[in-house]
Amino acid sequence: MTKRVVFAANWKMHMGPEGAGAFCDVFLKQFEARDDREVWFFPPAVTLPTVVARVKGTGILVGAQNVFWEPKGAFTGELSVPLTREAGGAAALIGHSERRHVFSESIEETGRKVRAVLDGGLAPVFCVGEQLAERESGNTIKVVVDQLGALNGLSSEDLDRTIIAYEPVWAIGTGKTATPRDASEVHTAIRAWMIQHGADDKGVRVLYGGSVKPANAEVLLAEAEIDGVLVGGASLDPESWQKIVSVEVN
């Protein structure tokens, strides 16, 4: 099994349909699909159909930034997996640090969301990561493993469909980046947990996120344990994003 490197753009609460359309017009003029990599966009929910339409036929995939675990019902403001799929989404981010720490999303809730995404035929990109105090106290691996506990009980097949994104909270949007060695250590622990719980060791993909930009993407991706990147701010500019998705990976 040959793993394809993942380049995922998380636009957070940026890029309405008009801005996203203009972004795609610029980006797609330079973009060339490659067999060794996947390019993903995670736009705001209102923008998802626009991006799906603009990238049709390019091989680029689009997903939601968050979903609720119920398929339908009286849940004002929430986005379901079936609605995401109908809009053309192929994946969903689950457990992003902002969901955990701004919106108080629990490990149990992230687990319910992962199962809903898998049951609905989408791919979960499950985010884990520690805060600065947890890193400084030497608890990084414990925190990450505890968060991975949301995946307990998943079948081997479902684990194989789940991409993990390691995002140290202290590095998101701060300009600070975990060193490749720091990231590799955590990725190794994540990979070991996934394999121990039934995932195929040749198929586990663990992304890194946290102030990834053109200047450091190549160095990060040179680490054997890093299977791709989840990018925030640097993905909001088409030229910057083009440089990142064009990085050569050995």
Q: What is the dihedral of CA 180, 186, 192, 195, to 10 degrees?
A: -80
pLDDT attached to residue 250: 76
Clarify whether 167 is annotated catalytic. yes
Domain locations along the chain: 5-245
Q: What is the 3-state secondary structure (H, E, C) of the chain?
A: CCCCEEEEEECCCCCCHHHHHHHHHHHHHHCCCCCCEEEEEECCHHHHHHHHHHHCCCCCEEEECCCCCCCCCCCCCCCCHHHHHHCCCCEEEECCHHHHHCCCCCHHHHHHHHHHHHHCCCEEEEEECCCHHHHHCCCHHHHHHHHHHHHCCCCHHHHHCCEEEECCHHHCCCCCCCCHHHHHHHHHHHHHHHHHCCCCCCCCCEEEECCCCHHHHHHHHCCCCCCEEEECHHHCCHHHHHHHHCCCCC
Per the CB < 8 A criterion, the answer to whether 202 and 1 are in contact is: yes
pLDDT attached to residue 1: 46
pLDDT attached to residue 2: 67
Superfamily per CATH, domain 5-245: Aldolase class I (3.20.20.70)
Clarify whether 32 is annotated catalytic. no
pLDDT attached to residue 172: 76
Tell me the pLDDT tens digit for each residue of 73-117: 999 999 999 999 999 999 999 999 999 999 999 999 999 999 999
Per the CB < 8 A criterion, the answer to whether 62 and 84 are in contact is: no
Per-residue tens of pLDDT for the chain, all 250 residues: 468 999 999 999 999 999 999 999 999 999 999 999 999 999 999 999 999 999 999 999 999 999 999 999 999 999 999 999 999 999 999 999 999 999 999 999 999 999 999 999 999 999 999 998 999 899 999 999 999 999 999 999 999 999 999 999 988 777 777 888 889 999 999 999 999 999 998 999 999 998 899 999 999 999 999 999 999 999 999 999 999 999 998 7
- Catalytic residue from among 96, 130, 134, 225: 96
- Catalytic residue from among 98, 109, 167, 225: 167
Q: What phi and psi, each to the nearest 5 degrees, are found at residue 206? A: -125, 115
Per the CB < 8 A criterion, the answer to whether 6 and 40 are in contact is: yes
| pTM of the model as a whole | 0.95
**132: Cα within 13 Å, side-chain hemisphere:** 6
